[in-house]
Amino acid sequence: MEKVIFLHNNYEPEHFLREPDEEDRFYTYGFGSSFARNFKTFCPGYEVEMWRLDSYIDKYYEKVVQGVLFRIFPSHRISRSIEFSGKFISELKKECRMSNPILFVSHTHTWLTYQIAWFFKKQPIIATHHGDWSPFFKITIRSGLRKLKDYIETLVEKRVLKNVACFLVCDYNQIPYIKKADGAAKFHIHSVGLDINSFPAIDKFAAKERLGWDKNKKYILYVGKLYDLKQPKELIDIWIDIKKDRPNVELVVIGNTETDEFYEYALKSGVMVLGRILNKHLYVYYSASDVYVLMSLRKDYFGGPGIAPLESLACNTPVVSYSMKNYIGDNMNELGEVPGSLEEYKAAILKVLDNPHLYKNMRESVEKYYTYELISKKIQAAIEEIDR
């Protein structure tokens, strides 16, 4: 049985647990874990392991969860972006000699990926991308010591990324930067996928009634942090402009905290700021809303279509977002609008609010292109096309 080892590091320590818990969240948090568990579920013919570097623990852990062997290695963090574990490298070398596995690295522009591509150049390696910035991009927007660091990383990428057999990329804008490192790079447009069963679609008016929302009003929804990368201020300003002529249009924001950059601005503007909502309840808010909006016009946005837009579509609510240029189907015109400027955003939002009948097959499209099963099968296809 062929083995695939999924690799990632603890890049969000505020969200990770630092010791095992009864629900196994210590083992299963993160992109690498999601890919590994879903891949094992939908491609059971492979032996699957998930290895994580973690500088916030002081001993090694392992456990089998959902048929996946999780191995968690303590590491030494040299800087915010650089960490290393001699045991991790030595154990992986031993494993490569024994089973010759496929190595699947979460994220592309990290020192974990650089280490894997350097020490294991003879292994088949797949690297994913989830919105992380290439140093070839960062060097164009930064200065001083950061620019020097970016320059060093461009040299590293030119040296090691040619050892990666395939890149799974979520955003078309990322491709030119990968090609700067490896002109012959093979890549596929990809996504982390969606557990569509967690986002059932319910009747819009029934959903509004459950939430106590006014059935005679229209609701714009945004789910995410209120920080500059997602441009919530621009969205709020567009809504304020819309509301001058459409007082029955409300803006709802979910997934924020009081420390977010534009939290106070949202409150003062009259936005419905709802804070954190448990994932298991989000489908009601998506279903009750009339349109989901994600800006993503910034040149430093490389996040692909985004998970929240897919969740909205699964709940039969159309999407307005430039990010949907990365949608992998051929029926985007049925699902919403893809505005390319701030001016176009206002017109696109109004078009959706005024013409809900134009948008259809939303949930069916997510089922066709973005379920966990389909994403796992795409990973399998990428593995099968690698020259061994």
Q: Residue 180 CA to chain centroid, in angstroms?
A: 23
Fold of 3-193+371-384: Rossmann fold (3.40.50)
Q: What per-residue confidence (pLDDT) applies to 17? A: 80
Whether 3-193+371-384 shares its CATH topology with 196-369 is answered yes
Q: What is the DSSP string of 317-367?
A: --EEEGGGGG--SS-GGGTEE---SHHHHHHHHHHHHH-GGG---HHHHHH
Q: What is the pLDDT of residues 141-172, one digit of tens each?
A: 999 999 999 999 999 999 999 999 999 999 99
Domain coordinates of the chain in residue numbers? 3-193+371-384, 196-369
Burial of 195 (C-beta count, 10 Å sphere; 0-12/13-18/19+): middle
- Per-residue pLDDT tens over the stretch 268-311: 999 999 999 999 999 999 999 999 999 999 999 999 999 999 99
**Mean pLDDT of all residues belonging to the chain:** 94
Beta bridge partners of 222: 253
Residue 239 confidence (pLDDT)? 98
∠ CA 117-157-147, nearest 5°, is: 140
Q: What b/e string do you get for 212-241 counting C-beta neighbours within 10 Å, with b at 16 or more? A: ebeeeebbbbbbbbbeeebbbbbbbebbee
Residue in 19, 29, 79 with CA at minimum distance from that of residue 50: 29
pLDDT along the chain (388 residues), means of 10: 92 73 90 93 97 93 97 89 92 96 95 96 94 95 94 96 95 95 92 93 96 97 93 97 97 95 96 94 98 95 94 98 94 96 96 97 96 95 87
The predicted pLDDT at position 15 comes to: 64
Strand partners, 127: 105, 167
For position 82, what pLDDT does the model report? 85
- Tell me which fold the domain 196-369 belongs to: Rossmann fold (3.40.50)
